[in-house]
C-alpha cells in the first residue's frame, strides 16, 4: 500500500466518523509514520516545524486514530502502518458482501449510505458502458461521481449482467502504466483461473490486456483518475507529463481496438484526449456530472433544516454539491439551530476542506491552470467585486484583460474560457436579455478572497 493510498484511506475513514477531512499537518505526520521517518526529517520539507508536528499534531492525531482504527489497540507512529494495512485487507476481503452477485476485484468501491436523485445520469451511464469502450465521468470534488458509478454496479448486480467481470481500482497513488496493466492482467487471470505469461514491455502488456478484453467483456473502473494528469499546461499540451505520457497511448489503444469491454475513468479534471476521441467519432464519451437541483432538498430535509423557502438559495450558493451541502447543513444544524434563513442572513460562504484542497490543486499546483486561465479567474473576481455584479460578458472580460495590458488573441481567450468551464471553475449562463454571460460560484470567489493575497487592491495567487 503506497503512502498516498494510505492517506486517502485514512482520510475517508476520518471523514466518515468525524465529518471532517485530515488537516495538512496531520497528513504530514501520517506520511512520516508510514515511511518510518523521524519528525525532524519530514519537517525539513514542510511549512510546519518539528515541535508542532511532534508535540501538538501527533499526540491528538494518535488519539483520534485509536478511536477510529484501533479496535481496542492503541494506534502509534510505529503501529500505524500494520493496523491500516490489516484493516484495508479486511475491507477488500469483504468487498463482495456489499453486492449479491458481483465479484469486484482490484479494490473496494466506496460505501454509499445515501444517494440522491441522478436517475437520468444513472440510466445514461448504464447505456454508455454497454455501448462505449471508454467513459470519462467528470465532475468537481464532492459532486458524487464515485457514488454514481457504485450505483451503476448495484444496478448491474440485480440484473442479468452483460460483463464477465469487474475491476475497481483507485489510482490516487499515481501508479505507472506498466504496473497498473500488470495488475489488471493478474486480476483477470485470477478471475478466469488461468496463468498468463506477462510480457516485460508496456506495449506488449497492453496488447495482451486488449486480447483478454476481446475474449470476454470486462468493466474496468479507475477512480481518482485525475492523479495521472501531472503535465504542466504552460509548457506542453501533454496532459500527463513525462512520467505518465504512456497513458495517452493506452487510452487510445483501448478505444480504437476491437473488443466489447468498457473502461470508466472517474476524475475531477477533464481528460482532453478522451474528448478528442469522442469528437472524432470514436467509441469514447465524456459524461459531466453537474450539481443537484431539486433533489438536493432531500439532503437538507434529512438534516432537519428549517426555512424550506430558502433552500433553493442555499443549493445555488453551493452549486448543488451533495458533499458540500451535507457539511454546510451540519454546521447550520449545530450553530444556527437548523435555520437556513439565519445562516443566509450573515451573507457568508463556508469553504470546506475538500473544496479548498481541490482549488489549491488548480491555483497552486504547477501547471494545473495556465497563466492566462489564472489571470482570467482573478480578473473576473476583481471586476465582480469592484462593480458588485455577478455576471460579465465575454466581450467585457476580453476588453478588461486588454486594458490590464494582457496580450491575448480572441482564439486563446476562447480556449482558456472553455478550459475553465471544463474544470467547473467558470460557468456560462443566460441573463434576462438572453445574453450568454460568465459566472463564478460563490465558493470560488471566497477561495480567491481568502487564500489569495491582495496587493494595491488586486488579487494574486500566493
Domains of the chain, residue spans: 3-88, 95-288, 294-350, 356-461
Q: Give the CA count within 13 Å in the CB-facing half-sphere of 376.
A: 30
Residue 462 in grid coordinates? 500566493
Check if the beta carbon of residue 342 is closer than 8 Å to that of residue 352: no
Judge residue 443's burial from the number of C-beta atoms within 10 Å of its C-beta, 0-12 exposed, 13-18 middle, 19 or more buried.
buried
Q: Is the pLDDT of residue 358 over 90?
A: no
The structural architecture, per CATH, of the domain 356-461 is: Orthogonal Bundle (1.10)
| Residues facing 306 on adjacent strands | 339
Residue 80 in grid coordinates? 500505524
CA–CA distance, 320 with 300 (Å, rounded to integer): 11
Q: How far is CA 264 from CA 251, 285, 427, in A?
A: 11, 10, 25
* Percent residues over pLDDT 90 in the chain: 53
Long-range own/partner contacts, residues 328-337 (CB < 8 A, 24 or more apart): 328/352, 329/299, 329/300, 329/303, 329/305, 330/19, 330/303, 332/303, 332/305, 333/303, 333/304, 333/305
Buried b (16+ CB within 10 A) or exposed e, 258-286: ebebbbbbbbbbbbbbbbebbeeebbbbb
Q: Is the pLDDT of residue 17 over 80?
A: no
| Residues facing 287 on adjacent strands | 137
Counting every residue written for the chain, the total comes to 462
pLDDT band for position 160 (cuts 50, 70, 90): low
pLDDT band for position 16 (cuts 50, 70, 90): low
pLDDT of 96 reads 44
pLDDT of 97 reads 44
State the Cα angle at 132 between 129 and 134, rounded to 5°.
85
pLDDT band for position 45 (cuts 50, 70, 90): confident
More confident residue, 249 or 461: 249
Question: What's the mean pLDDT when you consider all of the chain?
Answer: 87
pLDDT of 94 reads 47
Residue 138 in grid coordinates? 467528470
pLDDT digits (tens, 9 = 90+) for 359-368: 988 988 888 8
Residue 349 in grid coordinates? 460562504
pLDDT digits (tens, 9 = 90+) for 361-411: 898 888 889 999 999 999 999 899 889 999 999 999 999 998 988 888 999
Check if the beta carbon of residue 164 is closer than 8 Å to that of residue 218: yes
| Two domains, one topology: 95-288 and 356-461 | no
CA–CA distance, 229 with 239 (Å, rounded to integer): 5
Q: Is the pLDDT of residue 311 over 80?
A: yes
The structural architecture, per CATH, of the domain 95-288 is: 3-Layer(aba) Sandwich (3.40)
- For the full predicted model, state whether its pTM sits above 0.85: no
Rg (CA), the chain: 23
Check if the beta carbon of residue 334 is closer than 8 Å to that of residue 303: no
pLDDT of 23 reads 83
Amino acid at each position: 500500500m503506497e503512502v498516498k493510498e494510505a492517506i486517502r484511506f485514512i482520510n475517508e475513514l476520518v471523514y466518515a466518523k468525524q465529518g471532517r477531512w485530515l488537516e495538512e499537518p496531520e497528513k504530514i505526520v501520517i506520511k512520516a509514520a508510514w515511511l518510518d521517518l523521524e519528525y525532524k526529517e519530514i519537517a525539513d520539507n514542510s511549512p510546519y516545524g518539528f515541535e508542532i508536528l511532534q508535540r501538538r499534531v501527533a499526540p491528538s492525531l494518535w488519539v483520534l486514530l485509536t478511536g477510529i482504527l484501533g479496535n481496542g489497540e492503541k494506534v502509534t507512529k510505529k503501529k500505524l502502518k500494520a493496523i491500516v494495512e490489516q484493516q484495508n485487507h479486511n475491507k477488500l476481503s469483504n468487498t463482495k458482501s456489499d453486492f449479491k452477485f458481483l465479484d469486484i476485484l482490484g479494490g473496494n468501491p466506496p460505501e454509499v449510505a445515501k444517494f440522491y436523485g441522478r436517475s437520468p445520469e444513472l440510466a445514461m451511464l448504464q447505456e454508455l458502458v454497454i455501448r462505449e469502450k471508454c467513459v470519462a465521468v467528470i465532475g468537481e470534488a464532492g459532486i458524487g461521481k464515485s457514488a454514481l458509478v457504485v450505483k451503476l454496479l448495484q444496478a448491474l448486480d440485480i440484473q442479468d449482467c452483460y460483463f464477465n467481470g469487474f475491476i475497481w481500482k483507485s489510482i490516487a497513488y499515481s501508479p505507472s502504466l506498466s504496473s497498473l496493466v500488470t495488475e489488471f492482467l493478474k486480476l483477470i487471470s485470477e478471475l478466469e483461473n488461468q496463468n498468463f505469461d506477462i510480457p516485460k514491455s508496456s506495449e506488449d502488456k497492453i496488447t495482451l490486456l486488449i486480447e483478454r478484453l476481446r475474449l470476454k467483456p470486462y468493466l474496468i473502473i479507475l477512480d481518482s483518475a485525475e492523479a495521472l494528469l501531472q503535465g504542466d499546461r504552460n509548457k506542453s499540451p501533454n496532459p500527463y507529463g513525462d512520467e505518465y505520457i504512456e497513458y495517452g497511448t493506452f487510452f487510445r489503444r483501448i478505444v480504437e481496438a476491437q473488443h466489447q469491454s468498457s473502461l470508466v475513468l472517474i476524475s475531477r479534471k477533464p481528460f482532453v484526449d478522451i474528448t478528442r476521441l469522442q469528437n472524432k467519432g470514436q467509441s469514447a464519451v465524456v459524461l459531466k456530472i453537474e450539481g443537484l437541483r431539486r433533489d438536493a432538498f432531500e439532503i437538507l430535509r434529512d438534516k432537519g433544516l428549517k426555512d424550506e423557502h430558502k433552500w433553493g438559495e442555499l443549493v445555488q450558493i453551493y452549486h448543488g454539491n451533495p458533499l458540500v451541502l451535507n457539511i454546510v447543513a451540519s454546521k447550520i444544524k449545530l450553530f444556527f439551530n437548523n435555520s437556513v434563513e439565519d445562516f443566509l442572513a450573515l451573507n457568508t460562504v463556508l469553504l470546506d476542506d475538500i473544496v479548498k484542497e481541490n482549488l489549491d490543486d488548480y491555483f497552486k499546483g504547477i501547471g494545473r491552470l495556465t497563466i492566462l486561465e489564472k489571470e482570467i479567474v482573478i480578473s473576473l473576481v476583481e471586476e465582480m467585486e469592484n462593480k458588485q455584479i455577478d455576471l460579465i460578458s465575454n466581450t467585457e472580460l476580453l476588453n478588461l484583460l486588454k486594458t490590464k495590458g494582457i496580450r491575448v488573441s480572441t482564439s486563446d481567450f476562447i480556449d482558456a474560457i472553455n478550459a475553465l468551464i471544463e474544470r467547473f471553475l467558470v460557468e456560462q449562463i443566460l441573463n434576462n436579455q438572453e445574453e450568454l454571460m460568465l459566472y463564478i460560484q460563490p465558493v470560488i470567489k471566497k477561495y480567491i478572497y481568502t487564500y489569495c493575497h491582495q496587493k494595491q487592491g488586486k488579487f494574486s495567487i500566493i
